[in-house]
Structure 1
Amino acid sequence: MASAEHSSSAAAPGQQEARRGAFSSRKVFILAAIGSAVGLGNIWRFPYVAYENGGGAFVIPYLIALLTAGLPFLFLDYAIGHKHRGSAPLSMARESRKAEPLGWWQVGICFVIAVYYAVIIAYAARYTFFSIDKAWGADPEGFFFGEFLQTSEPGVTLDFVAGVLIALLIVWAAVLLIMGLGVQKGIGATSVVFIPLLVLAFGFLVVRALFLPGAAEGLDTLFSPDWASLRDASVWAAAFGQIFFSLSIGFGIMITYASYVGRRTDMTGSGLVVGFANSGFELLAGIGVFAALGFMAQSSGVAVDEVVADGIGLAFVAFPAIISEAAGGSLIGVLFFGSLVIAGLTSLVSVLEVVVSAVRDKFDLKRVTAVLVVGVPAMVVSVLLFSTTSGLLVLDIVDYFVNQFGILLVAVVTMVVMGVGLKALPGLAAHLNRHGSVKLGRTWMLLVAVVAPLALGYVLVRAFIDTLDEPYGGYPAWMLNVFGWGTAGLVLVVALVITVTRRKAVTPEHDREGADR
């Protein structure tokens, strides 16, 4: 058995890639990477973060964060995956066996994200149809929390909400079908169709929003610069946190996607395209959202800052109110919620692919088998936890903790381990420089090993102190301990357990030789 496993791992590079799958071209890879990066957070998080942190002045720390932390870490992910041709755990193990738990930590985070991300897409899918006849009536907030979600008091119930359950099952069926079709025919083909469609739909939405009465006031509220805010450390922390969350870096996605790209691909040039395309879409989202909020404020006879919201509140309460008041509101609603569905699906596919790829590499499974092994349990957990009357409450807690004490923490640890512990950055830079149009040198290594960890570490420490000082969301302590701290801790424990479950030999030397071919 041992010799068979070793021989499977030591297969020729061409055979390995044929078994794992690959993107057919650099263009498809770029579209898939953009699809992963452009998600719900771009649409409903960035505009609010920018508004809260200096408006137009926020562009300065945001761009600095992109150049000094976002792109450098994106290149790190690309280098690890492209050089070692494996999932996040396998690529980490091929760099050093000691680093494999980092890969499984990232896989665990992706599994958790997948199980709750799907339900938000289900919400958006239902609201796409609700927009046609404005089913929420005169009270969008009461409809969302009441008639639609039937939200319970804090706690956990098994009272399923039929409207959410059916939509959630359809979302999972679509995602598993895409995953089962493979890297190119599923993920790649979906990105080639969906990303241009997303840009067209959201672009049309922004144009329509700009012609709404009050749009100028909304944009003025967003872009009026508060230059004094640049002296506030929290504004810079918000910029680094936003760019990090929005680029899909640090939790295995870009490592996995990079492993599916041809060996002679210009990865650094591709990274610039992905990074700036993501930021461009965030700016577009900010314009569209605040133009619409300006209209809402004027219709309500209040200041724009009184109607500003983010996240769930923006999408499912504020925007339905806008749709109800605006001429042609049904079209705006279909475009907005349809954009959420598309952006969410491409991101969910990328998140789930991290887990599928890791399971395939670890246990040497065929793709469809791995998709079912990963997807069916994820769907079951998703349904049990998030299609019930308590689903939104659990989702809110899990989302906050897995982002703050999952993604950020593993990213900081990864940078320190790769840059300081393993001293792997020179070798990774040399790999990308072989075919990259943007050459990486000491500046990149300094940014990855020192600047980005310090900046993100500051964000992490602030979040940790704030969470201890004031329990998140006012939820009961037991819910925060189980679904918050418990989830974040369980992911790390499972990562360590899976690491010691040896099923497949890792041959770093062979992989390095193959990477040079």
Structure 2
Amino acid sequence: MTATPPAQRETWSGRSAFIIAAVSSAVGLGNIWRFPGVAYENGGGAFLLPYLIAFLTAGLPILFLDYAIGHRYRASAPLAFRRIHRRFEPLGWWQVGLCYVICIYYAVVIAWAVAYAVYAVTLAWGEDAVGFFLSAHLRRPATVGFTLDFAPAVLIPLVLVWLTAVVALAFGIRRGIDRVNRVTLPLLAVSFTGIVVYALFLPGAVDGLNAFFTPSWAALADPAVWIAAYGHIFFSFSIAFGIMLTYSSYLRRKSDLTGSGLVVAFSNTSFELLAGIGVFATLGFLASAQGSTIAELENIQGVGLAFMTYPTLLSQMPGGQIVGVLFFVSLVLAGFSSLLSILQVQSAALQDKTGWSTRRAGVTLGIATAVPSILLFATTSGLYTLDVVDAFVNNIGVVLSAILTLLLVVIVGRRAPELARHLNAVSSFRVGPIWRVMVTVVTPIILTVILVTGAYGYIADGYADLPGWFLAIAGWGLLGVLAVVSGLLSLGTYRRPDALTIEPDDTEQLAREVQADKQRALRERSERRAGR
């Protein structure tokens, strides 16, 4: 094949732009309202051990693998996998499909946060935050099912979220996503750090921190705790469903991949711990104000934490209105930057397949995602659907995607040595035999056990006491549709003229150029010092 690089492919303005974008993607809603609750429900301080093991055995190895695939093959997920082997393309479309489903419900949570940032100005939820969220805000019916009755408090902000996302996406990664991230990430860091500092000085904050960090060692014997740890790592790191693969494909030829990965990984984990400290310090205050313990509080995980329990304590907290606005604005900022990264996976795939411009792909994709998002999740039955879709997509779909990536690319395709050489050619932190053992043996085995255990649990025990017919449609049925569509999309031809062109493996030349650049930089530094 001709060694012609892909035409008119965008690149990040620099390494910092990529790191900011990757951190913005990883630091999302899950860090603030998901991690603290998951940690508390799965052993408190003891959860940090399986979390750390999941971080080392799955998080970092697959993050580096995503970076290597994207940067080596310079394409979206479907095209990158096709360039490895033409029969691997359906895996790329499976990842695109997962992103499509995630973004249509992820935008709704952002819309809730937009509405609650407005509610917080007057503490509109009153004394019954739970009832307000379910009845006044969502207008959730008592019977599980699908409706087309819209909840205005969800519909209006959701339309605004999608309009903003489409505009940012249409401007591309430099003029759109990069500029948005450079604003939202610093604002998020400042606003949420302010909340944490304030929370630490509240009465009862120490009790909350004790509840968060005190380990329940017996929980380590529970397989569900380990499943929760690995499931959260995938959700949190944005790995194994195309995001980091796509983002790394826009990096320049000589970019420090593993060094950037370490910055992203540890930034994300640090923010999660910060979120846990801030959230549980405030929950300690709430328990103290009610004369109870944190264990006696309700709705302290997931959606319940952010939109039921947290508003309750804001009503009782000194300065609750200001803190409330900052908290929900933080959710909006964190969620929106992650939403853009999820959408970019789909936009890149669409551009590669059709040859469309960034703007045309962005607008088309925006309409194709906004419509089902509004029809499914801006309705009064949206919470039921969201709960099931989120559980099945993340705990089954994403874990399956990770296993297939490792199986096809590393074991069947035997690309681990090549990808390791590519990582080492450009990176400051070198991967070696340990990384290859992880992605070839350890991580696939662990993830397969987690997938089988999780799937069996859903089959045998159901989910959240919801009826079987509802799970069959919104859960298993959805995954089945994604599998069929992934196969069908891989049958079409690529209209971009250079799509099937694969750049030669110039790892040795690349390594020499990177080494020459380092030596040149050292000489220039020495000359500057000598000139002083």
What TM-score bracket applies, with the shorter chain setting the length?
over 0.9
Q: CA deviation digits over 1:319-345, x for unaligned, max 9?
A: 000100000001111111111101100
Distance 2:498 2:252 in 1: 21
Question: 1:510 maps to which residue?
Answer: 502
For 2:256 and 2:398, the matched residues in 1 are separated by: 27
1:462-505 superposed Cα distances (whole Å, 9 cap, x missing partner): 21111112221222222211111111111111000000111346
Q: Kindly state the Cα deviation for residue 235 of structure 1 after the two structures are TM-superposed.
A: 3.1
Mapping of 1:139-288 within 5 angstroms?
139-152=128-141, 153-288=143-278
Is 1:460 the counterpart of 2:472 in the alignment?
no
SS of equivalent residue, structure 1 residue 20: coil
Q: Match for 1:413 among 404, 409, 415?
A: 404
State the match for 1:133 in structure 2: 122
Aligned counterpart for 1:390 among listed residues 357, 364, 381 = 381
Distance of aligned partners of 1:430 and 1:513 in 2 relative to their CA distance in 1, 3 Å threshold: closer
Q: SS at the partner of 1:114? A: helix
In structure 1, the partner of 2:318 is 327
1:408-431 Cα shifts (integer Å, max 9, x gaps): 111111111112111111111111
| Partners of 2:3 and 2:501 within 8 A in 1 | no
CA distance in 1: counterparts of 2:291 and 2:312, whole angstroms: 14
Report matched runs for 1:337-352 at 5 Å. 337-352=328-343
Equivalent in the alignment of 2:27: 38
Q: Is 1:485 the counterpart of 2:507 in the alignment?
A: no
The CA distance in 1 between the partners of 2:43 and 2:293, in whole Å, is: 17
Aligned mates of 2:208, 2:85 — CA distance in 1: 51
Pick from 345, 348, 364: which aligns with 1:357? 348
- What one-letter code is carried by the residue in structure 2 that aligns with 1:413? L
Task: Please tell me whether the aligned partners of residues 48 and 310 of structure 1 are also in contact (alpha carbons under 8 angstroms).
Answer: yes
Aligned-partner Cα distance in 2 for 1:282–1:239: 13
Matched, 1:26 2:15: yes
Q: Residues of 1 paired with 2:498 and 2:175: CA distance?
A: 28
In structure 2, what is the Cα distance between the partners aligned to 1:65 and 1:397? 24
Distance 1:193 1:11, change over 3 A: farther
- Measure, in 1, the Cα distance between the counterparts of 2:481 and 2:308: 33
Shift of 1:513: 5.1
The answer on whether the counterparts of 2:4 and 2:503 sit within 8 Å (CA) in structure 1 is no
- Give CA deviations for 1:142-184 in whole Å, capped at 9, x if unaligned: 1110011111121111111122111100000011111011111
Offset of residue 245 of structure 1: 1.7
Q: Which range moves more in the overlay, 339-348 or 61-70?
A: 61-70
Aligned residues: 506
Q: 1:126 to 1:11 in 2, by over 3 A?
A: farther
Residues 475/227 of structure 1: CA separation in 2 closer, same or farther (3 Å cut): closer
CA distance in 2, matches of 1:162, 1:514: 56
Deviation at 1:453, TM superposition (A): 1.6
Q: Where in structure 2 are the equivalents of 1:280-299 lying within 5 Å?
A: 280-299=270-289
What is the CA–CA distance in structure 2 between the aligned matches of 1:111 and 1:507, rounded to whole Å?
22
Q: CA deviation at 1:217?
A: 0.2
For 2:464, what is the secondary structure of its paired residue?
Answer: helix
Instruction: Name the amino acid aligned to 1:57.
Output: A
* CA RMSD, Structure 1 to Structure 2 (Å): 1.7
For the residue of structure 1 that corresponds to 2:502, the secondary structure is helix
Q: How big is each residue's C-alpha offset from its partner over 1:301-321, in whole Å with a ceiling of 9 and x where there is no partner? A: 111111261111001000000
Whole-angstrom CA distance in 2 between matches of 1:506 and 1:99: 19
Contact 1:124-1:337 at 8 Å conserved across structures: yes
* Bigger Cα displacement from structure 2, 222-231 vs 274-283: 222-231
Which stretch shifts more, 473-482 or 159-168? 473-482
**Structure 2 residue identity aligned to 1:204:** G
CA distance in 2, matches of 1:330, 1:438: 45
Distance across 2 between alignment mates of 1:238 and 1:149: 28
Q: 1:55 to 1:210 in 2, by over 3 A?
A: same
Equivalents in 2 of 1:230, 1:438: separation in Å? 32
Superposed displacement of residue 48, structure 1: 1.8
2:77 aligned with 1:88:
yes
**Do 2:69 and 2:80's aligned partners in 1 also have CA atoms closer than 8 Å?**
yes
Kindly state the Cα deviation for residue 238 of structure 1 after the two structures are TM-superposed. Answer: 2.7
Matched-pair contact (CA < 8 Å) for 1:240–1:455: no
Q: Structure 2 counterpart of 1:157, which letter? A: T
State the one-letter code of the partner of 1:172: W
Structure 2: gaps (5+ residues): 511-532
Larger deviation, residues 502-511 vs 145-154: 502-511
Aligned residue identity for 1:54: G
Structure 1 contact 121–341 (Cα < 8 Å) conserved: yes
Alignment-mate amino acid for residue 161 of structure 1: A
Q: Tell me if structure 2 keeps the 8 A contact 1:84–1:91.
A: yes
SS class of match (2:241): coil
Preserved CA contact (<8 Å) 2:23 2:268: yes
Aligned counterpart in structure 2 of residue 103 of structure 1, from 92, 96, 107: 92
1:54 counterpart (43, 55, 63) = 43
- Length-normalised TM-score, structure 1: 0.95
Gaps of 5+ in 1: 1-5
8 A Cα contact 2:231 2:395, kept in partner? no
Listed one character per residue, the Cα deviations across residues 272-297 of structure 1 (whole Å, up to 9, x for unaligned) are 00000000000001001100110111
Instruction: State how far apart, in whole Å, the 1-side matches of 2:287 and 2:12 are.
Output: 46
CA distance in structure 2 between the aligned counterparts of 1:73 and 1:513, rounded to whole angstroms: 21
Return the offset for 1:509: 6.2
1:311 pairs with 299, 302, 311, which one? 302
The CA deviation string for residues 31-83 of structure 1, in whole angstroms up to 9 with x for no partner, is: 10011111111111211222223322322222222122101100000000000
Partner residue, 2:490: 499
> Where in structure 2 are the equivalents of 1:108-127 lying within 5 Å?
108-127=97-116
- Of all paired residues, the percent bearing the same amino acid is 48
* CA deviation after TM superposition for structure 1 residue 379, in Å: 0.5
SS in 2 for 1:448: helix
Q: Deviations over 1:8-34 (max 9, x none)?
A: xx6843x62xx2311101011001001
